[in-house]
Amino acid sequence: MGREITSVGVVGLGTMGAGIAQIALLAGSEVVGREVGDELNERARGRIEHFLGRAVEKGKLAAAERDAALGRLRTTTEVGELADCDLVIEAIVEELDAKRELFAELDRVCAPDAILATNTSALSVTEIAEATERPERVIGMHFFNPAPLLPLVEIVRTGRSKESAVDAAYAWAERAGKQPVRCNDTPGFIVNRILIPLLNDCVSVLDGAGVSPEDLDKAMTNGAGWPMGPCALIDLIGIDIHVHASEALWGKLGEPRMGPPERLVAMQADGKLGRKSGEGFYRYE
């Protein structure tokens, strides 16, 4: 598992997966992206082309670099096409059974020394790894949304992860221009263990103190120095994603502050998911 990472597979090319693929392309890696259908693959390629094109327009990337990056991208609907990748990063739906099924398949088709990483934000990396015959090569690589812009990557080790796999993923993330940190497979890892209950506290203040989302965000950005207000941040993350992560932490730790506030659960039920749906705490065009 000390192999140099030159080729990266990304399974699941939604918002996070496409962003991770973009990072890998700009890092110079050959990238194989896998989605369940050709239309989803084309949508992801279009998304990556769009953001690389924006980088060219802003003078942050040369047109030749954009073209070279896109030339390193190959998409497929077959998991078997990931067989030669040095590192495979999973970014599919946040459901344990689905991830375990995928990792069992990846374990069968990928080389024995390839590293398998999950981008889960709340599920147990250990439980995902247990679906494989080689759990020592399974780690977490938790990117933050939007992945191309936010520098942090949590490199998560389980009790059975080989340090060589952790070190190789850490080194690749650094080469990709990220700021990786090592952590153990504990509920919420580092950031979500702190941030989720803090955001839940903020939402509770809305009703408990009769504060508007606008005033809460204004208070936290101007009084606490937050770069983005809590309501705007939850809208960006996605109300459904935040609720899911809160429920996962609550289930593991049982701390009241971990459980999602009723207001967020109601917003999710109403389809008000934040930026992705056009409405959350705020409305979006």
Per-position pLDDT tens, the chain of length 285: 667 899 999 999 999 999 999 999 999 999 999 999 999 999 999 999 999 999 999 999 999 999 999 999 999 999 999 999 999 999 999 999 999 999 999 999 999 999 999 999 989 999 999 999 999 999 999 999 889 999 999 999 999 999 999 999 999 999 999 999 999 999 999 999 999 999 999 999 999 999 999 999 999 999 999 999 999 999 999 999 999 999 999 999 999 999 999 999 999 999 999 999 999 999 998
Residue 4 confidence (pLDDT): 85
Q: Please pick, among 29, 154, 242, 246, the residue that the annotation labels catalytic.
A: 154
Strands 138-143 and 152-157, by their bridges, are: antiparallel
Is 38 part of a structural domain of the chain?
A: yes
- 121 belongs to the catalytic site: yes
- Verify that 86 and 217 share a domain, yes or no: no
What is the full DSSP assignment across the chain?
Answer: ------EEEEE--SHHHHHHHHHHHHTT-EEEEE-SSHHHHHHHHHHHHHHHHHHHHTTSS-HHHHHHHHHTEEEES-GGGGTT-SEEEE---S-HHHHHHHHHHHHHHS-TT-EEEE--SSS-HHHHHTTSS-GGGEEEEEE-SSTTT--EEEEEE-TT--HHHHHHHHHHHHHTT-EEEEEES-TTTTHHHHHHHHHHHHHHHHHHTT--HHHHHHHHHHHS--SS-HHHHHHHH-HHHHHHHHHHHHHHH--GGGSPPHHHHHHHHTT--BGGGTBSSSB--
CA distance 220 to 215: 9
Full residue range of the structural domain in which residue 258 is found: 192-277
**What pLDDT does 283 receive?**
97
Does residue 57 lie within any of the structural domains?
Answer: yes
Q: Tally the domains of the chain.
A: 2
Q: Is 154 a catalytic residue?
A: yes
- Marked catalytic residue, from 35, 41, 142, 161: 142
The verdict on 124 and 259 lying in the same domain is no
Q: What is the pLDDT of residue 215?
A: 98
DSSP state of 281: S
Of 184, 210, 243, the residue that ends a domain is: 184
The pLDDT, as a whole number, for residue 31 is: 98
Hey, is 33 helix, strand or coil?
Answer: strand
- pLDDT value of residue 156: 98
Is 211 in the same domain as 266? yes
The half-sphere exposure of 94 on its side-chain side, counting CA atoms within 13 A, is 17
Structure tokens at 5: 């990472």
Residue pointed to by tokens 């949508």: 43
Say whether both 132 and 21 belong to one domain.
yes
CB 72 within 8 A of CB 9: no
Tokens 């659960």 sit on residue = 265
Output phi, psi for 30, to 5 deg: -75, 135
Task: Give the active site residue among 41, 121, 124, 200.
Answer: 121
pTM score of the predicted model: 0.93
Residues 172 and 199 in one domain: no
Q: What angle do CA 255, 261, 262 make, to 5 degrees?
A: 130
The three-class DSSP label of residue 31 is strand
Does the annotation count 49 as an active-site position? no
Q: Is 212 a catalytic residue?
A: no
Query: Do 31 and 144 fall into the same domain?
Result: yes
Q: Spot the catalytic one: 29, 119, 161, 192.
A: 192
Q: What is the pLDDT of residue 58?
A: 96
Radius of gyration of the chain (CA): 19
The pLDDT score that the predictor gives to residue 272 is: 98
Asked if residue 105 is part of any domain, the answer here is: yes
Residues 202 and 179 in one domain: no
Domain match, 143 and 94 both: yes
Q: Answer yes or no: do 133 and 200 share one domain.
A: no
Looking at the fold, whether 230 and 144 belong to one and the same domain comes out as no
